[in-house]
Amino acid sequence: MSSNVVSTGPRIIIRRAQLDYPLVRDRSSIKAALFGALGFNTGPRIDKKVVHAVNGLSLTINRGERVGLIGHNGAGKSTLLRTIAGVFPLTDGTIEVTGRMQGLFDLGTGFEAEATGRENIMYRGLSIGFTPKQIRDREAEIIGFADLGEFIDLPMRTYSAGMYVRLGFAISTYLEGEILLIDEVFGAGDANFQERAIRRMHELIERAGILVLVSHDLGLMRSLCTRLVWMSGGQMVLDGDPNEVAEVYLRSMKAA
Amino acid sequence: MSVQGATLQTVRVGRMSLGSYIGAMWRYRHLMMHLASADLQSRFRRSSLGVVWAMIHPLAFTVLYSFVLANLFKQEFKDFSIYVFSGFILWDAIASFVNLGAMSIISGAGYLKQAPIPMLIFPLRTCLTVSVVFLLGLVAFFLYRTGMIVFFDVDQPIATIYWLWIIPVVAALFTLGSAWATIVAFINLKYRDAQQMLLILMQALWFASPVFFAREIFDSPNLQLWTAINPVLAFCDVFRDPVLLSRPPEVRDWIVIGAWTAGSWFLAIMMTVINDRKSIHYV
């Protein structure tokens, strides 16, 4: 990322953002490879080789706004979130971000399976922007919040899926930024953990200057967000009051 | 860790200058070092002998290869085994840079999809691990050679001042290996067949280099051009000259290594600039 103007107040400005990515067709079977070499197509025909995941979208989010992104699967919501975070590169257009970002996506991935939970706290913390000292200072709190007991010192390959998410959630929510990007993490962990997780999320959201949230839970979106953006095909369909947008969205779903 | 109320920077997401990239590499340096450490621990986890295997492994293979090849080439086992050991640890490092390097970015998928981490971190992580294993093999080589000199009357000095050349040799090995690991990592992202082809390529390179075969074979007029440009041969020479022959490495070999390193890093940097982040969809 190139550093530009120094200013106060978090802000996200998205101008005609375009993100195209190639469809990678897997021809890993020997049969497909042999017939393909002889000119016979054995796989399903794919008409488009590029997916327009974000398609010329423009959006400005100012300090104090809590924006929810809704839409059907494949609308581009999670892709847009990761593009704002810098994980996916734009094909065209620009995104300018003022403020420190904290992304909460795929909490259960990005761990070293042979390493212990305690060791993975360090690796995961480093990958999301902590320094080693910050991680060591917070390690006890993270372990306490994850509540994994003796499992914290066992290899993560012994963990259940829920335990992966618990640890990922505990690590990720101890870094605070002015801009919070959340992708479907409100259902994290088992029922026992969820109450504490939801409380923790609310604390984070209260402290963040900007929230961008992706979720299929419209009730949650209405309660948390000040603004709802309905996306479809990588484009914005509607942007406005959460209740109004949610109503229009639900009507269109029923009509479809 | 919150910086609420502080003056905030505006960044243009997805646009990174070379200086910004280097800055990002510096910020993620702790991650690279910790993951390299994790790789080493993982390699020997639950093993009774642990890291000692990094020394036993080359020793065992040396004895095995030397026993067979000494009989085949009618060589004295004692001297030949030292020659084989020196080639084995060198080749093991070079092959690992390439073969493990090919999967290095793919293996970092979980991290890369969470945050905009520079992809170059992952080939360098792999190369750090390979280099540590090489150093452990070097220790085993030194102990084996000393044992052969002391107990089996091999006619070589235990150590000379020329052994200090090992330091630049290791540095050069890591530098060139990192470039190769980076190149193959990006190629393998998009073309997964590359990893399979590399196995064949490296095997061919093994046959075409004095890893186990006598160095004199490569002085043949038929192999003049190949001998002049082969970087593996050059590394074998710069390593064996001080360690086995008690003489400084030849300038010619350093020129070959230097040319390959400069060219490889030019290509590696170009591939990183062009492909970093754009390749995320292939991870």
On whether any CB of chain B is under 8 Å from the CB of A176, the answer is: yes
The Cα of B126 is separated from the nearest Cα of chain A by a number of Å equal to 14
The pLDDT of residue B131 is 96
- Quick one: average pLDDT of B37-59? 87
Q: Which residue has the higher pLDDT, A180 or A176?
A: A180
Place of tokens 């066992």: A154
On whether any CB of chain A is under 8 Å from the CB of B41, the answer is: yes
Residue A178: list chain B partners with CB under 8 A.
3-4, 8
**Residue type at position B271:** M
Residue A85: list chain B partners with CB under 8 A.
13, 115-116
Please check whether residue A96 is in contact with residue A13, taking contact to mean a CB–CB distance below 8 angstroms.
Answer: yes
Q: Is A7 left (phi over 0), alpha (psi -120 to 50) or beta?
A: beta
On whether any CB of chain A is under 8 Å from the CB of B196, the answer is: no
User: Alpha carbon of A226 to those of A38, A58, A69, A77, B165: distances in Å?
Assistant: 58, 18, 11, 17, 66
Mean pLDDT computed over every residue of chain A: 84
Residue A177: list chain B partners with CB under 8 A.
2
C-beta atoms of B280 and A122 within 8 A? no
- As a whole number of Å, the end-to-end CA separation of chain A is 41
pLDDT bin (cut points 50, 70, 90) of residue A3 is: very low
What is the C-alpha to C-alpha distance for residues B219 and B227, in angstroms, rounded to an integer?
7
Here the tokens at position B38 are 């994790």
What is the C-alpha to C-alpha distance for residues B243 and B46, in angstroms, rounded to an integer?
35
Q: Residues 8-37, chain B: which have Cβ within 8 Å of A?
A: 8-17, 20, 24, 27-28, 30-31, 34-35
On whether any CB of chain B is under 8 Å from the CB of A139, the answer is: no
What is the C-alpha to C-alpha distance for residues B270 and B268, in angstroms, rounded to an integer?
5
Q: Residues 222-241, chain A: which have Cβ within 8 Å of B?
A: none
Please check whether residue A84 is in contact with residue A12, taking contact to mean a CB–CB distance below 8 angstroms.
Answer: yes
C-beta atoms of B115 and A128 within 8 A? yes
CB pairs under 8 A between A and B: 149
- Quick one: average pLDDT of A98-125? 87
The pLDDT of residue A151 is 94
Residue B35: list chain A partners with CB under 8 A.
112, 123
| A127-151 burial: b if 16+ Cβ within 10 Å, else e | bbbbeeeebeebbeebbebbbbeeb
The pLDDT of residue A205 is 83
Partner residue opposite A89 with nearest CB, options B1, B14, B35: B14
What is the C-alpha to C-alpha distance for residues B283 and A88, in angstroms, rounded to an integer?
11
Tens of pLDDT, residues B164-190: 999 999 999 999 999 999 999 999 998
Place of tokens 């590696």: B268
Q: Residues 87-116, chain A: which have Cβ within 8 Å of B?
A: 87-90, 94-100, 103, 105-106, 109-112, 114-115
What is the C-alpha to C-alpha distance for residues A120 and A125, in angstroms, rounded to an integer?
8
pLDDT bin (cut points 50, 70, 90) of residue A129 is: confident
> What predicted TM-score, i.e. pTM, was given to this entire model?
0.88
ipTM of the complex: 0.82
Closest C-alpha to A128, from A164, A77, A90, A180: A180
Here the tokens at position A184 are 């479907």
Please check whether residue A118 is in contact with residue A151, taking contact to mean a CB–CB distance below 8 angstroms.
Answer: no
3-state SS of B26-71? HHCHHHHHHHHHHHHHHHHCCCCCHHHHHHHHHHHHHHHHHHHHHH
On whether any CB of chain B is under 8 Å from the CB of A156, the answer is: no
Q: Which residue has the higher pLDDT, B149 or A165?
A: B149
User: Alpha carbon of B25 to those of A75, A121, A135, A148, B251: distances in Å?
Assistant: 33, 20, 19, 33, 33
pLDDT above 50: residue A73: yes
Helix, strand, or coil here: A57?
strand
The pLDDT of residue B270 is 93
What is the C-alpha to C-alpha distance for residues B102 and B186, in angstroms, rounded to an integer?
8
Name the residue of chain B whose CA is nearest to A81's CA.
Answer: B114
Q: Which residue has the higher pLDDT, B11 or A204?
A: A204
Pairing state between β A179-183 and A210-214: parallel
C-beta atoms of A2 and B17 within 8 A? yes
pLDDT bin (cut points 50, 70, 90) of residue A36 is: low
What is the C-alpha to C-alpha distance for residues B179 and B263, in angstroms, rounded to an integer?
9
pLDDT above 60: residue B268: yes
On whether any CB of chain B is under 8 Å from the CB of A1, the answer is: yes
Closest C-alpha to B202, from B102, B83, B107, B269: B102
What is the C-alpha to C-alpha distance for residues B172 and A66, in angstroms, rounded to an integer?
52
On whether any CB of chain A is under 8 Å from the CB of B53, the answer is: no
Please check whether residue B246 is in contact with residue B160, taking contact to mean a CB–CB distance below 8 angstroms.
Answer: yes
Treating both helix axes as pointing N-terminal to C-terminal, what angle do B77-101 and B231-244 enclose, rounded to 10 degrees?
140
Helix, strand, or coil here: A196?
helix
C-beta atoms of A110 and B282 within 8 A? no
pLDDT bin (cut points 50, 70, 90) of residue B44 is: confident
Q: How many CA atoms lie within 13 A of B259 on its CB side?
A: 12
What is the C-alpha to C-alpha distance for residues B138 and B55, in angstroms, rounded to an integer?
8
pLDDT above 80: residue B123: yes
Closest C-alpha to B143, from B75, B89, B211, B66: B89
Please check whether residue A171 is in contact with residue A201, taking contact to mean a CB–CB distance below 8 angstroms.
Answer: no
On whether any CB of chain B is under 8 Å from the CB of A64, the answer is: no
Partner residue opposite B15 with nearest CB, options A2, A83, A126: A2
C-beta atoms of A94 and B30 within 8 A? no
Q: In what order do the strands lie in the sheet with A101-104?
A: A101-104, A179-183, A210-214, A66-70, A227-232, A235-240
What is the C-alpha to C-alpha distance for residues B181 and B94, in angstroms, rounded to an integer?
10
Radius of gyration of chain B, Cα coordinates, nearest whole angstrom: 21
Partner residue opposite A97 with nearest CB, options B11, B34, B42: B11
C-beta atoms of A209 and B7 within 8 A? no
| A86-98 burial: b if 16+ Cβ within 10 Å, else e | bbbbbbebebbbb
- Quick one: average pLDDT of A1-11? 58
Tens of pLDDT, residues B221-265: 999 999 999 999 999 999 999 999 999 999 999 999 999 999 999
Please check whether residue B173 is in contact with residue B93, taking contact to mean a CB–CB distance below 8 angstroms.
Answer: yes
- Quick one: average pLDDT of A125-143? 89
